[in-house]
Structure 1
Amino acid sequence: MKRIDLLKRRQARLKEEIMANLDLLIGTVGKSPSMAGHNLTTKVEGKTVSLYVRKDLSRKAKEMTRRYKKLRLLIQKLSKVNWEILKLDNE
């Protein structure tokens, strides 16, 4: 199998994985010892804000923030694969 074919398969796999991880939140979920619930700390219009997260939603919110981190890595990998494909297309 040619290198370009392998790269295109990897590209398709990464795109599928990206699509599967779009249920996300940007930020960090944390809990202060003095607070009863959790907070989502994120940027809104360039300012850091903390949004209250109910205790029953904290597990799902943490999972959604993990998906965002995973998505960033997947996009970086996809960019590298796209670069390799671009170089091979021009040869």
Structure 2
Amino acid sequence: MKVRKFRILRLRHHVSMVELGRACGVSAQRISELELSENKPSAETVQKIRSGFESIIAQRGEKLGLLRQDYDSCKNSLMERVGEYEYEL
């Protein structure tokens, strides 16, 4: 199954769909749809996801240095679809 990079990032760093959804201002259901959808999301939606990760990183602080590094390495391609087990950040 192909998923978006931000799903891998979210799972690797134990960010729930609810947590990301709250940080983005969207529902957990919408996060799930975005992760699995083949449709290209709008620029506004992509920005919401980016802002959500930025917010979570800021809230969790120093503990998430690795999340910050992983996020920075793929923030411009969060919506790229990849095999769930084929991609390593």
What is the TM-score of this pair, normalised by structure 2?
Answer: 0.33
Higher relative contact order (CA 8 A, sep 6+): 2
State the structure with more CA Rg. Answer: 1
Specify which structure has the higher proportion of strand.
Answer: 1
